[in-house]
Structure 1
Amino acid sequence: MSVHFPVDTAQIVALFLESVFYGIYLATFVGCIKVLIWQNDWLKSFGQINKTMLFAALAMLVFGTLDLAFGLRNNIDAFIRFQGDPEEHFQDLSNWLNVMKMVCYVAQTFIGDAILIYRCFIVYGKNYWIVTLPSLLWLATSACGAMVCYLEVSIGTGALSQSRLKPFITSMLSLTLATTVITTSLIVRRIWKVESKISHFRSGDSSSPLNRVMRILVESGLIYTTTILILFGTYLANSNAILGISDSVVQIIGITFNLIIVNTDAARKSIGSQLDPSQAVVSANGTLPLHMLNIHTEVSVQRHPPDTASSLSASSKRHDALEKPNWSP
């Protein structure tokens, strides 16, 4: 028994919600692009730009914009051009607009999960074993999403909850939820281990930029996880509210991606001042390349008096150094 929420009403609410989140997305996108291509009031050189993250940001912009545009066109067709009950138009799952909106959702999920796995891969020093399980989950999610898009083309009139689609949609939601939780937990665990090692080298009572990064990742992960759980719940309840939630998720994926880059850039700018200069040498060739989360500072901790730091930096391999992960925006 489905919750009473007419599909035509749900489509209008979905368009409104997605428009709100799209506005938020655009605001965060501007900050994200500024971090990726701008440095010290000048454009970065081509070699300095993180091309993986820039491509992902632009791809998310394309799919987020297309999803909103398809939603607007779908409403115009149903309420203005369609000769009949708008509900009949919206229930035609094989309509190219409905199919393309599903393609945008799957593509946005594909990119978001891929970038999360990539972050985890770099944070753990490009360790393939660490991301083996998340990568398999990601591939399975993509396969389920592709099947949903394929079935929609030929399914005709109906609802997303019908038997042919339900196994693939529930699997897709479950797998992307598992991927997000596992990869976010692995990244936070890695950063926490680093923070616990360098905390006693921090000067004064200043707050840790690594703690800020952990908080950013946890908050972003919770935002996405919560929306997926709500989406899953509305789908299992056979409620048309899934339309508004799924449209919002397309934009929320991009929002969380942008927020991580913008906020970790702020952490990058403050990380140098958080370390005691008498005990830590910050250089461009040390042992802590933090380029995965846009923290490009590298730190090599020297357990020697500050007056000998320069002579020791040339032979840093002979001294104790903290094990650090690789990060990037």
Structure 2
Amino acid sequence: MLEPNGIPLDSAAVASTVLEAILYGFSVLMFIGTMWALIHRRGMIEMNKKMVAVANLLLFFSTTHLIIDIVRTEEGLVQYRDTFPKGPVAFFSDVAQWSFVYKNMVYMLQTLVGDAVVIYRCFVVWQSLYIIALPILLWCSVALTGIGCVYSISQATVNKENIFAPGTGPWITAFLASTLAANLLSTSLLAYRIWDVTREVGDARVGRSSLWPILRIILDSGILYSVSLLAALLCFVTKNRGHYVLLDMIMPIISITFYMVIIRVTIKRTTSQDMQATTRLTRGFSTNRQSIPERQHYPLKPLQVHITQLTETNDGDGDIFKSVSNAEDIGSSKTAASVSDVAIYT
């Protein structure tokens, strides 16, 4: 059997708390930007109350987790440094400590909220319960294994100084594998739907100017979270204590990936609206110039123009971006329109 290896636990406690605090600072800044995007820009009446609630919930969980980590570090290195048997290393190895149990419970809740948001966005895009059936089952697996993790840790009596022990290790492995699978599958389904609609638009150049940036946003956030989970899972499977550091870092990363999607989509939408306004002004100027007599005239031929635009609708819960591709045959009365509803619930 593999023996635990890697960074000492007292050093891991300091490193994980510092890195988590740095990422938490970024997440707070992004939370402020998210609130601006959801409330200030849309107004109190039209704001997406569901996403506002999720954003605040993620901030609450990540803040609580950081506070527990700070208290835990102070207890292990200062308060019980000379009184705890075998010193700080033994303190941080004791999985039955209240701080370790509660921080893992908060991490489980944060994970459930983050995964639920990805699955919900997937449902909004596909509008089909059959598509998200497997992600929902994986989410239920995350919930069950997460509860098993917290319970097994809180009840640990034998080998409680070893997180990799048979009583706790399999639960944690199953939890990390379940959340990784749920995130990968939901993100893949969401990205595929957006890619499929972009492909159906037909004009690749126009498609890239509308939906490709949104697709990149989805992939960026999904990859960031998935890589973090994969690294934590590999560390735990190989019994490397580095997973303590990675799991603490994942807490603010979950919040960051959620905030990143909303902020970047809002910036993209604002840029698109500015470009549309500039285009209308340019067309108006060109129309005024048509009154000027021209010496040369060229015969006009029927022309097919593909126009792709991002429109927004409000259904009382939030904004759904729609990709609309209209093909108009100028010079004739025939118009072909293909409308596909896709994108991100913000």
Task: Report the TM-score, using the length of structure 1 for normalisation.
Answer: 0.85
* 1:236-255 Cα deviation digits (max 9, x unpaired): 12122111100000111111
Equivalent residue in structure 1 for 2:29, among 27, 33, 36: 27
* 1:166-212 Cα deviation digits (max 9, x unpaired): 11111111111111111111111111112123352966xx9523111
Question: Quick check: 1:322 aligned with 2:339?
Answer: yes
In structure 1, distance between residues paired with 2:314 and 2:166: 47
* Match in the other structure for 2:213: 212
Q: Tell me, which stretches of 5 or more residues in structure 2 are unaligned?
A: 281-304
In structure 1, distance between residues paired with 2:204 and 2:227: 36
Question: Quick check: 1:168 aligned with 2:171?
Answer: yes
Instruction: Provide closer, same or farther for how the CA distance between residues 74 and 296 of structure 1 changes in structure 2, counting only shifts above 3 A.
Output: same
- The DSSP-based 3-state class of the residue aligned with 1:304 is strand
Does the 8 Å CA contact 2:6/2:242 hold for their aligned counterparts?
Answer: no
* Match in the other structure for 1:73: 71
- The DSSP-based 3-state class of the residue aligned with 1:72 is helix
* Match in the other structure for 2:47: 49
- The DSSP-based 3-state class of the residue aligned with 1:323 is strand
* Match in the other structure for 1:230: 231
Instruction: Provide closer, same or farther for how the CA distance between residues 194 and 283 of structure 1 changes in structure 2, counting only shifts above 3 A.
Output: closer
Does the 8 Å CA contact 1:201/1:280 hold for their aligned counterparts?
Answer: no
* Match in the other structure for 1:266: 267
Count of residues paired in the alignment? 311
Question: Quick check: 1:63 aligned with 2:61?
Answer: yes
Instruction: Provide closer, same or farther for how the CA distance between residues 257 and 212 of structure 1 changes in structure 2, counting only shifts above 3 A.
Output: same
Quote the offset at 1:34 in angstroms.
1.0
Equivalent residue in structure 2 for 1:100, among 76, 86, 102: 102
Task: Write the letter of the residue equivalent to 1:98.
Answer: F
Task: Report sequence identity in percent.
Answer: 25
Quote the offset at 1:25 in angstroms.
1.1
* 1:144-176 Cα deviation digits (max 9, x unpaired): 001111111111432221101111111111111
Instruction: Provide closer, same or farther for how the CA distance between residues 283 and 148 of structure 1 changes in structure 2, counting only shifts above 3 A.
Output: closer
Q: Tell me, which stretches of 5 or more residues in structure 1 are unaligned?
A: 313-317
In structure 2, distance between residues paired with 1:201 and 1:219: 21
- The DSSP-based 3-state class of the residue aligned with 1:9 is helix
Question: Quick check: 1:2 aligned with 2:19?
Answer: no
Does the 8 Å CA contact 1:290/1:328 hold for their aligned counterparts?
Answer: no
In structure 1, distance between residues paired with 2:177 and 2:96: 24
In structure 2, distance between residues paired with 1:235 and 1:12: 19
Instruction: Provide closer, same or farther for how the CA distance between residues 265 and 290 of structure 1 changes in structure 2, counting only shifts above 3 A.
Output: farther
Which structure has the greater CA radius of gyration? 2
Tell me which protein shows more strand as a share of its residues.
2
In structure 1, distance between residues paired with 2:18 and 2:70: 10
Instruction: Provide closer, same or farther for how the CA distance between residues 201 and 224 of structure 1 changes in structure 2, counting only shifts above 3 A.
Output: closer
Instruction: Provide closer, same or farther for how the CA distance between residues 235 and 168 of structure 1 changes in structure 2, counting only shifts above 3 A.
Output: same
Does the 8 Å CA contact 2:218/2:261 hold for their aligned counterparts?
Answer: yes
Quote the offset at 1:295 in angstroms.
5.9
* Match in the other structure for 2:203: 200
